[in-house]
Amino acid sequence: MIRLEKRASPSRFWLYATPVVAVLLTMVVGGVLFALMGKNPVEVIRTIFWDPLFGEFAFYLRGQLLVKAGPLILIAIGLALGFRAGIWNIGAEGQYIMGAICGAAVGLAVFPTENRMIYPVMVIAGAFGGWAWAMIPALLKTRFNTNEILVSLMLVYVAETILAKAATGFLKNPEGMGFPGSRNFSSYPAAANPELIAGSGLHWGGVAALVTAGLAWVLLTRHIAGYQIRLAGQAPRAARFHGVSPGRLVVLCMGLSGALAGLAGLFEVTGPAGQISIDFNTGYGFTAIIVAFLGRLNPLGIVLAGFLMALTYVGGEMAATNLGLPDAAIQVFQGMLLFFLLAVDVLTNYRFRRSAGALGAK
């Protein structure tokens, strides 16, 4: 018989090898899936992972990697802070939506005023919207000990309903000839988030993602709050003896993750998306969970994981367009990555052992 035996200490090899092995397994099993669908698996994998970086249109597509990676990195860093402390915010998608709505509402409220302070105020409003939405499960957790996983997840559907109301009601473009959706921010320079370098795909959201990754690394490695977060996740009882308040930690981590998700929504709605629409949310809040774990809940690892996941977005769109691959197949492919990551991650704390002697005795 083969059994799992707990290691005396976590394996450093598997700690770093797990993401690589998970990606390779995803490619292999994903290739089998694509073959069953009648597609050339080698061609599909090449289109997803190679062509956006080195293909014919690589210069344009590399810019798209920055566009896709920015919100994923921002949201994943916020989630990672909570996950490290054992606080499970699964509703970042709702916080992303509410950040976009609040930030967009501020900008549209003063249309067509041109003032350089409008966009900074929108950024603050976006962060506040995400923070406020995250405070609902945080306060319910601290006051009534509710499950933050369920509450934050259910609030995603509430946020989607508010998004639909915004696109068809209180933020609807009065000059849009009855079509749902807000004004387009590209025609409102004071509230727009354009490319900082033409053709690069880099906008303020990408800058914020990289700066946030650096600040989060400093927080976790050089600040007392980061030490408390790590201690609470690794040894909750020891953290309480050390004077760490579980309630304050929940509010801190949920607030940070909500604010970062709200910022991601604001940068997206004023930049690549351009407007509040019914289908504005594209699942970044859920995909960021994969990015957080793929990056080992480390801010610098999350940056790399964010670009890898962005690669599957951009390459997946190419595969859908050029090879006729269904969007659902790409979503399954991305989901496989988390599945294999969690499966292989078991080897970090456990090893396989053969127990033939015990079987013979029985």
Provide the token pair at 201.
Answer: 């795909």
Residues in Cβ contact with 198 at an 8 Å cutoff, skipping those fewer than 6 apart: none
Q: What percent of the chain has pLDDT over 70?
A: 98
pLDDT of residue 304: 94
Mean pLDDT check: name the lowest of 119-133, 193-207, 246-260.
Answer: 193-207
For Cα atoms 302, 306, 309, give the angle at the middle one, nearest 5 degrees. Answer: 135
Query: Model confidence over 47-94: pLDDT tens digits?
Result: 999 988 888 777 777 788 889 999 999 999 999 999 999 999 999 999
pLDDT of residue 282: 81
Cis bond before residue 112 (omega within 30° of 0): yes
Q: Assess if residue 25 is contained within a domain.
A: no
Q: Identify which has the larger pLDDT, 357 or 262.
A: 262
pLDDT of residue 214: 96
Give the mean model confidence (pLDDT) for residues 107-118: 93
Q: Assess if residue 5 is contained within a domain.
A: no
349: pLDDT strictly greater than 90: no
Mean pLDDT check: name the lowest of 4-8, 214-218, 259-263.
Answer: 4-8
Q: Assess if residue 309 is contained within a domain.
A: no
Q: Assess if residue 55 is contained within a domain.
A: no
Provide the token pair at 309.
Answer: 């996941």
Amino acid at 302: I
Mean pLDDT of the chain: 91
Three-state DSSP class for residue 352: strand
Q: Assess if residue 201 is contained within a domain.
A: yes
101: pLDDT strictly greater than 80: yes
Mean pLDDT check: name the lowest of 115-119, 137-141, 229-233.
Answer: 229-233
Residues 263, 266, 268, 269: what is their CA dihedral angle, to the nearest 10 degrees? 170
Q: What percent of the chain has pLDDT over 90?
A: 65
Question: What is the count of structural domains for the chain?
Answer: 1
Q: Identify which has the larger pLDDT, 359 or 114.
A: 114
- pLDDT category of residue 6 using cuts at 50, 70 and 90: confident
Provide the token pair at 211.
Answer: 């700066």
pLDDT of residue 248: 92
Q: Tokens 């970090």 correspond to what residue?
A: 348
Three-state DSSP class for residue 353: strand
pTM for this prediction: 0.91
- pLDDT category of residue 97 using cuts at 50, 70 and 90: very high
pLDDT of residue 243: 83
Q: Assess if residue 206 is contained within a domain.
A: yes
pLDDT of residue 123: 97
Domain that holds residue 90: 63-295
Burial class (CB in 10 A: 0-12, 13-18, 19+), 62: middle
Taking CA atoms, 9 is separated from 6, 12, 21, 322, in Å, by: 8, 9, 21, 48
Helix axes 41-49, 299-323, angle to 10 degrees: 130
Amino acid at 115: N
